[in-house]
Amino acid sequence: MKNRSSWFFAPAWLLLLAGCASVVIPPPETTSPSGTQQPGEAAVIAPVPKTAMSNNRAVIALLDQAQTDNESGRREAAGSSLERALRIEPRNPWLWLELAQLRLAQGQYAQAITLAGKSNSFAGRDSLVQAANWQVIGQARVALGDTAGAEQAFKFSADLAQQAKADHDADFKLK
Amino acid sequence: MKSPTPPRKKSRFSFKLPGRPVRLIVLLLLLGLSGYIYYLDVTIRDAFEGRKFALPARVYGRALEVYAGLKLTRGQFVGEMKSIGYHENPQPDQAATYKNTLNGIEFTTRDFVFGDGTQPPQHLRIEFADGKVSLLQVRGSKDADLPLLRMEPPLIGGIYPGHNEDRELVRLNQVPKMLTATLIATEDRNFYTHWGIDPRGIARALYKTVTGQRIEGGSTLTQQLVKNFFLTPERTLTRKANEALMALLLELHYSKGEILETYLNEIFLGQDANRAIHGFGLASYFYFDRPLDRLEPQEIATLVGMVKGPTVYDPRRHPDLSLKRRNVVLQIMENQHVITHAQFVVARRKPLGVVERAPAGTSPYPAFLQFVHLQLARDYREEDLHSEGLRIFTTLDPFVQHQAEEALQSRLAQIEKRHRIAADTLEGAVVVSSTQTGEIQAMVGGRDARYAGFNRAIDAQRPIGSLIKPIIYLTALEDPQHYTLITPLDDSPLVWSQPGTTDWKPNNYDRQFHGQVQLRTALAQSYNVATARLGIALGVQHILDKLPLFGIERQPPPFASSLLGAFGLSPVEVSQLYQTFADGGFRTPLRAIRTIVTADGKPLQRFPLNVEPVAPPGPVYLLTAALQGVVREGTAQSLVNWLPAEMNVAGKTGTTDDLRDSWFAGYTGDRVAVVWVGRDDNKPTGLTGASGAMTVWGEMMKNIQPEPLEPVMPEDVEMVNVGPVSGLRYDAGCKSGALLPFIKGSAPAETSPCDTSSADASAAKAEAKPGANQDTGKKNWFQRLFN
């Protein structure tokens, strides 16, 4: 099993309480017009380094490949790399989150919600990945026209992000 | 082969050139025949166009992904390399060669076109330690670590158009000149000059036949091609005439090159069980395991020699005849200056050199291939599947498949011996899938895994007995106000009347009634009466209505007896049911196909994968804890003979009336597997779920070496220490008691001191938590969020 707390000490770890970044895969343009922050849109999580998502180099290589494919618009290929990574670490919540984000970008909103839920089921105490999952759920709900549901999801996301920050600070002090 | 033509027939062809009126009659006859010729023309052009590119779909198993840290032994890896045609070679720098070294293997991969692009060949080094890959490197002037290697996937079968014809399409410019020259020299020396039929050839053949020198066929390659299109045993003159006409017509429409290329791909060159080997491209692999351009002269001679009679000159079945024929062809090659005398002398001395290979038929995994067929129809659009040369990448894991086949075979033989059951009367089926992705890794349809007939994994619908029970318990646990793992259930005699059926009096397997039993115990011991009463209280229809959610489309009869599994399901349907329990309440349709790529490398659009949450995670977590109780202390406790207790396996035995069906369904951290054992004639076997199917399951899983089951505890679940019998909450710090998961707020409020004098104390403190990786004390912010 990977050490779930290792990412807390990754130098690139950052938490922003506003903004439009996402973990790896950008949200569809419809939900977040560039430059405007939607009311109720909650904490967004800065990129998490891949070394924090897994300590298996094969998985990291596949995440790199998925990112390259995704950035050049080859979403199917990105999906197939993520599925390969999931076969190696089927219980890694970060990988399920990546797949949820990909489905979101592909406009498969119901699947994005389910996969984020599946990621949550493996998340244990990892508030940061949960915050990102609720972010995906919120965006998918916006796209599906469920404004109230989206508000609620963004609220969860913000609370979880704060929790993650508090956990991080606490851990940092302990160090 | 042609039989000698009786001399009297000769007279029919030897009448003298007739006079003018006769010529007129002939002309009229020809006109009358024009319609017929037109018909032949359409027929032969259809055949030619249709067969020109008739390529089978190729079906591949999963590609092995190799990386440092992977659980893999040297033996497993060598087995994998052999299954994809690698050869040992002291200089492993050619594609598909390897060499054993002190700590591992040096090898070179082939290039391979995957669904997501081409992977070039790589020179690699792998090392093993403690059953794992310890090093993976690219060999070069400076060695470099490789994070991940995807091996070429093993070819596990084909889906053939037409009559199970298989071929490896070759272009004329890929075919060695020596082969075409030999073919023409042996079969049709005037190929490039005749018009489809060769009067000189026919005359020579007739002459030689009649004078008794040699029995020879006068067919041109074009005629042979026509004959091959319409393979029939009949050999009449009409047929010959038709063939000749069609040959002329073919030559009118197509170039010599097109005809030769089609011939090279079309000609029948052997039979592999129910698969017909067509064309030199595939024959080259089938007999010599090498592409055409790497064949040596004597090997080319062997293949060309087979054209005369692929069955008679089959080098595997009739090596002597084949060798003789090969040498005749080599002689022709020398005479016609295809090879030099020196080449001839060397080639003649060589053995046949055919590779050993057990006939694989259309697939060594017929049960799995059948499932692939079903899924093609389910997941892809009909019209997409018509394009030819599709490459189908599937989920089959040959290693897991092998363990499943072995375990079924060896266990059934042992069970028959031990239980004094007549040999070869038991049958069985196995399905193994990956827990989180729903990919089918192995499917065995019967004891003879190679038999491509009745597939019990899909086609046998047998009563599932107690395998249905988890649905009832899950339904109860979804109502934490009324049901927890320790809720007492009533296991006293029950009579149930329902309109439309006779009174139902369920009985327990041990013919006893057990009074008040805890819910978890009723499931662990598989008490029928307590379960039936629970199901009736929850509502028979309410429970049966849940089955479609879990992917079971078949509707059981709406009677209470269905609560005890008095209806049939196939092993693969049971797998789907348990998949959802294993995956925390997410239903992922079981799948056998990862992706399909067209001949030009484009992935086919598939119906999107549809993961669905169908049961809340908390109650599913509790159910898993209860199913682990089945293995730890219930009907499946003898599983410990195969798998250590630390595996935390969750499972359920199933036994049906008069011991006709023996089932076991269970899951580990990474795999779900279902085994059925019984008889095809549905007679009693004398086996329970535990004495039959469970032993197959255990034997198989022991060899697969699964991951332990450690589900992540959902946020709405807490662990509480209770008296194992009293069901009262114990004070913190109690050394005895049972630590059980509860949906938060549902654990007993009433506490009792650690009563060391009670019956509870005699039971050592047991922990019934599905996973062991969660601490329980710390935070409840998630709960704050949601409550």
| Residues of B assigned a catalytic role | 187, 466
What is the per-residue pLDDT across B568-610, written as a single tens digit (0 to 9) for each?
999 999 999 999 999 999 999 999 999 999 888 888 877 766 7
pLDDT number for residue A8: 35
**pLDDT value of residue B385:** 73
pLDDT of residue A138: 97
pLDDT value at A4 more than 70? no
pLDDT in tens, B638-649: 999 999 999 999
C-beta atoms of B785 and A156 within 8 A: yes
For residue B541, the surrounding DSSP H or E stretch is helix B540-544
Alpha carbon distance B19, B2 (integer Å): 34
CB distance B437–A1 less than 8 Å? Answer: no
Q: Tell me what pLDDT residue B769 has.
A: 65
Least confident piece of the model among A162-171, B387-396, B453-462: A162-171
- Whether the CB of B203 is below 8 Å from some CB of chain A: the reply is no
Q: Is the pLDDT assigned to residue B486 strictly greater than 90?
A: yes
Q: Which pLDDT belongs to residue B126?
A: 97
Phi, psi of B575 (to 5 degrees): -60, -45
Sequential DSSP letters for B11-54: HHH-PPPP-HHHHHHHHHHHHHHHHHHHHHHHHHHHHHHHHHT-
A8 touching chain B per CB within 8 A? no
Arithmetic mean of pLDDT over chain B: 87
Tell me how close the Cα of B51 comes to any Cα of chain A, in angstroms: 33
Confidence category of residue B181, pLDDT binned at 50, 70, 90:
very high
Give me the residue from A58, A77, A90 closest to B67, CB to CB. Answer: A58
d(CA B190, CA B336) in angstroms, rounded, equals 13
From chain A, the residues in CB contact with B439 under 8 A are 87
Please tell me which of the candidates A80, A114, A117 has its beta carbon nearest to residue B116. A80
pLDDT tens digits, B239-266: 777 888 888 988 988 999 999 999 998 8
Lowest mean pLDDT across B55-59, B192-196, B234-238, B460-464: B234-238
Q: What average pLDDT score do residues B143-147 get?
A: 94
Long-range contacts of B130-133 (CB under 8 A, 24+ apart): B131/B71, B131/B72, B131/B73, B132/B69, B132/B70, B132/B71, B132/B72, B133/B66, B133/B67, B133/B68, B133/B69, B133/B70, B133/B72
DSSP letters along B687-751, please? --TTTTHHHHHHHHHHHH-PPP--PPPPTTEEEEEE-TTT-PEEPTT-SSSEEEEEETT-S---E
Q: Does A2 touch chain B (CB under 8 A)?
A: no
* CB interface of B with A, residues 708-727, below 8 Å: 712-714
Residues A96, A111 contacting (CB under 8 angstroms): no
pLDDT score, position B487? 96
**Distance (Å, whole) CA B501 – CA B649:** 38
Question: In chain A, which residues have their Cβ closer than 8 Å to the Cβ of B437?
Answer: 83, 86-87, 90
Higher pLDDT, B473 or B36: B473
Of A33-37, A153-157, B453-457, B667-671, minimum mean pLDDT range: A33-37
Residue of chain B nearest A91, judged by CA positions: B436
* Helix (H), strand (E) counts: chain B: 24, 35
Is A58 close to B611, i.e. CB distance below 8 A? Answer: no
Residue B584 at interface with chain A, using a CB cutoff of 8 Å: yes
CB A165 within 8 A of CB A148: no
Q: What confidence tens digit (pLDDT) does each residue in B603-627 have?
A: 887 776 678 999 999 999 999 999 9
| Position B331 pLDDT exceeds 80 | yes
3-state SS class at B339: coil
pLDDT in the model for residue B362: 60
Contact residues on chain A for B712, CB-CB shorter than 8 A:
91, 121-124
Q: Is the pLDDT of residue A31 over 60?
A: no
Greatest mean pLDDT among B226-240, B548-562, B691-705: B691-705
pLDDT digit string, tens, across residues B506-555:
999 999 999 999 999 999 999 999 999 999 999 999 999 999 999 999 99
Show the DSSP H helices in B419-527 as ranges. Answer: 456-459, 469-477, 519-524
Categorize the per-residue pLDDT at B419 as very low, low, confident or very high, splitting at 50, 70 and 90: very high
Burial degree of B208 (CB within 10 A; 0-12, 13-18, 19+): middle
CB spacing of B437 vs A86 below 8 angstroms: yes
| B603/A114 Cβ within 8 A | no
DSSP-derived pairing of the beta strands B104-108 and B496-498: unpaired
Q: Which residues of B touch A81 (CB under 8 A)?
A: 116
- Interface membership of B770 toward A (CB under 8 Å): no
Choose the mutation target among A99, A113, A125 for the interface with B, i.e. most B CBs under 10 Å.
A125
- CB neighbourhood size of B638 (10 A): 13
Q: Is B624 on the interface with A (CB under 8 A)?
A: no
**pLDDT at residue B75 tops 60:** yes
Q: What is the pLDDT of residues B24-34, one digit of tens each?
A: 888 888 888 88
B115 to chain A: closest CA residue: A77
Q: What percent of chain B has pLDDT over 90?
A: 60
Q: How far apart are CA B284 and CA B303, in angstroms?
A: 8
Q: What is the pLDDT of residue B734?
A: 81
- Looking at residue A22, what is its pLDDT? 38
- Place A14 in a pLDDT band, splitting at 50, 70 and 90: very low
Report yes or no: B149 and B66 within 8 Å, Cβ to Cβ: yes
What integer pLDDT is reported at residue A174 of this predicted model? 60
Distance CA B419, CA B425 (A): 12
Residue matched to tokens 């595997």 = B316
Question: Cβ contacts (< 8 Å) between A97 and chain B: which residues?
Answer: none
User: How much is the pLDDT for A65?
Assistant: 95
Taking contacts as CB-CB distances below 8 angstroms, the residues of chain B near A76 are 116, 603
Q: Is the ipTM of this complex over 0.95?
A: no
Q: Is B613–A117 a contact, with Cβ atoms under 8 angstroms apart?
A: yes
For residue A85, what is the nearest residue in chain B, using CA coordinates? B65
Q: Which of B64, B66, B67, B587 best probes binding to A when mutated, by most A CB atoms within 10 angstroms?
A: B67
Mean pLDDT of B61-85: 94
Kindly state the average pLDDT of the residues B217-239: 76
- Write down the pLDDT at residue B733: 76
| Rounded average pLDDT over B706-729 | 91
Q: Does A1 touch chain B (CB under 8 A)?
A: yes
Separation of alpha carbons A160 and A118, rounded Å: 17
Q: Residues 6 or more apart from B140 whose CB is under 8 A from it?
A: B123
For range B312-328, the mean pLDDT: 94
Res A89: pLDDT: 96
Predicted confidence (pLDDT) per residue in A63-119, tens digit? 999 999 999 998 988 999 999 999 999 999 999 999 999 999 999 999 999 999 999
**Any idea what DSSP says for residue B767?**
E
In whole angstroms, what is the distance from residue B192 CA to residue A18 CA? 78
pLDDT at A115 (0 to 100)? 96
Q: How far apart are the first and last CA of chain A?
A: 23
Contact yes or no for B729/B586 (Cβ under 8 A): no
- Give the 3-state secondary structure of residue B501: strand
| Whether residue A175 has pLDDT greater than 90 | no
B603 lies within 8 A of chain A by CB: yes
For A45-64, the pLDDT digits (tens) are: 667 889 889 999 999 999 99
Kindly state the tokens that stand for B88. 């040992």
pLDDT of residue B774: 39
pLDDT confidence tier of residue B227, bands split at 50, 70 and 90: confident
Q: What's the confidence (pLDDT) of residue B54? A: 60
Mean pLDDT, chain A, as a whole number?
79
Task: Tell me the torsion sign for CA atoms B291, B294, B299, B303.
Answer: positive
Q: CB under 8 Å to B392, separation ≥6 — which residues? A: B57, B58, B59, B60, B159, B372, B376, B593, B596
Would you call A57 and B773 a contact, using CB atoms and an 8 Å cutoff?
A: no
CB–CB contacts below 8 A, A to B:
83
A90–B434: do the CB atoms touch at under 8 Å?
A: yes
Average pLDDT over residues B667-683: 96
Residue B50: its pLDDT value, please?
A: 67
Contacts (Cβ under 8 Å, ≥6 apart) of B630: B523, B524, B526, B636, B650, B651, B652, B653
Establish if A56 touches chain B: CB-CB under 8 angstroms. yes
